[in-house]
A and B are shown apart, each in its own frame.
Chain A
């Protein structure tokens, strides 16, 4: 498993500085990196105990409007655990309740309805991650950006605090921008 992981991370790192590739290829690589980052965020965020229904509840990542990413993520989390729990990727639809979800990724495809979806998540212990411009101002906690051919992210702490989530300072250290007050 370690070997596989290494290979994966290595491939990711190799692709980090993305050269002038075809848009499709670029998008695919970007999606893969985002999937990996999603999984890795779990290590830097602390959820309140009530976020899990049962002690043995799996760590569930909900994905809306990003099927490719969901697929990549399923590949990545296979056999892995987060907080000693099994990891489950759930492809979700608009309006679906967020019960049992610890992390929610809202893809570019649902950018138009972003506010609507985020409103549901508001106040819940769900780490919301987006990839749309100005998403933070609309209530997202972490928003991917593309800077200098690299995938980076911004963090909005007030939203996270509202959901009783503690985001590690170490994660903030690598964030492009951290919003501390609204």
Chain B
């Protein structure tokens, strides 16, 4: 059966037709031959029996009147029946009365046998009693050709020839006739192959018949139409999609171009701004620097007046001089701060492993040395470290801790805490006090230069410190924010790294709120 799958429909049909023809032919021939042979045998037996009867009747007088010559003459007539090889007449006593044999000759049975026929090889042997007037006159013996095998061989030869001719005719006929069946099928197969190879869904199989194959062609065509429609839809949607993608790409490129343009513009503006800013700072620095010398002169000479001429200067004048000195000193501090702010902006950023805890302790020690009478509860966490410029970091801590020191001066039990939080593995440092605090409504003004939330009478300060701190934190890429309540103290948080800090800071702020 595996063989059967590899042949074409045409070949299979041909094979079926030929096989069927051959089978029918063989069966028909076998039946006919069988029938004929049976007929032959029966007719031969009946023929020979008749012949024997005839012979018996003809030779009956010869037997009756004991005339072997006549019997012999009768037997001689058998030469017109060449199929009879031998014949003999026996008289009633069983003695041979007359005999005949054709050229083949042959032997005769010594004694006659009872009536009957039998086949001996390719010979038919027959014994027949001769009756006359109710008496047994003798016996006829006949031996004839029994050509069953010859006939069989002959029939097989004829069968072979007939089969060959029939197969040839069947082959020629079926080759023509099978086209009725196969041509619609092959037409569909051709179309199917073409559709598969060329993806030409617009092709249609021809409907050449109204039978099952016709229905197949119809179904196939319906399917093709469906595929064609689906393909067309798909192509259409593909085209739409393609257009959309192209549009999208164009838009993206437009955006990219705009971005580039924007960046360029930003760069230009930044450069301009930086240039302007630099000039401004340079100007600010030189002014501040240059202002220090005359201030120092004013302060110095005021001091010299007070010290060198204690008696010549009236008391009133001395008081004025003292006020001049205090003002010049304040102005000096202001200039110093401005210069600091300027310095923070200028110069390089040298990141190194910095010990924040140690820096904070140094700052606190300095403050305590300056005002040893103040009792402040200070706690500094150990082991706070950061990758930062320690000079700038110290300046920031000086400002933040200094503020805490300053704004907790009027509190009963002042307390300052310097510590750190960890958020997503990034450190958030803080400086917290329980001092005056401030209203969060002004939180946005905290880090601007010269912004003061408290009056100079209450707390001394130039209003530049937090601006400096913010600038330092920003230069590290970090962020700074505050949380406070009036009278309840303030807390300043800052980070020194850029990534994720913003989010961390926001979370912290929310947590504090």
- Chain A 127-154, CB-CB to B under 8 Å as 1, else 0, gives 0000000000000000000000011110
Question: Which of A12-20, A55-63, A91-99, A117-125 binds B?
Answer: A12-20
**Interface range on chain B: under 10, 10 to 19, 20 to 34, or 35 or more?**
10 to 19
- Chain B 62-93, CB-CB to A under 8 Å as 1, else 0, gives 10111100100000000000000000000111
Residue A171 lies at the interface, judged by CB distance under 8 Å to chain B = yes
**Residues on the B chain within 8 Å of A152, using CB:** 65, 67
Q: Are A16 and B66 in contact (CB under 8 A)?
A: yes
**Residues on the A chain within 8 Å of B93, using CB:** 10, 13-14
Q: Are B66 and A173 in contact (CB under 8 A)?
A: no
Residue A9 lies at the interface, judged by CB distance under 8 Å to chain B = yes
The chain A residue sitting closest to B132, CB to CB, is A43
Tell me the smallest distance from the CB of A29 to a CB of chain B, in Å: 12
**Interface range on chain A: under 10, 10 to 19, 20 to 34, or 35 or more?**
20 to 34
Q: Are B135 and A13 in contact (CB under 8 A)?
A: no
Interface residues in A17-49 (C-beta closer than 8 Å to B): 33, 37, 40, 43-44
Task: Tell me, in angstroms, the Cα distance from A90 to B184 when the chains sit together.
Answer: 103
**Residues on the A chain within 8 Å of B95, using CB:** 13
Tell me the smallest distance from the CB of A7 to a CB of chain B, in Å: 10
Q: With A13-B93, A170-B61 known to touch, is A43 a contact of B133 (CB < 8 Å)?
A: yes
Residue A5 lies at the interface, judged by CB distance under 8 Å to chain B = yes
Q: Are B61 and A9 in contact (CB under 8 A)?
A: no
The chain B residue sitting closest to A153, CB to CB, is B65
- Chain B 42-72, CB-CB to A under 8 Å as 1, else 0, gives 0000000000000001101110111100100
Residue B136 lies at the interface, judged by CB distance under 8 Å to chain A = yes
Q: Are A173 and B61 in contact (CB under 8 A)?
A: yes
Residue A112 lies at the interface, judged by CB distance under 8 Å to chain B = no
Q: Are B66 and A40 in contact (CB under 8 A)?
A: no
Q: Are B60 and A170 in contact (CB under 8 A)?
A: yes
The chain A residue sitting closest to B93, CB to CB, is A10
**Residues on the B chain within 8 Å of A6, using CB:** 92, 135-136
Tell me the smallest distance from the CB of B382 to a CB of chain A, in Å: 159
Task: Tell me, in angstroms, the Cα distance from A117 to B366 when the chains sit together.
Answer: 208
Interface centre among A13, A40, A44, A174 (most CB of B within 10 A): A174
* Contacts A/B (CB < 8 Å), 24 sampled: A2-B135, A5-B135, A9-B92, A13-B91, A13-B95, A33-B66, A40-B65, A43-B133, A44-B61, A150-B66, A152-B65, A153-B65, A168-B61, A170-B57, A170-B60, A170-B61, A173-B58, A173-B61, A173-B62, A173-B70, A174-B62, A174-B65, A174-B67, A174-B70
7 nearest A-B pairs in the assembled complex, by CB-CB distance: A174-B61, A16-B66, A170-B61, A10-B93, A174-B65, A174-B67, A43-B133
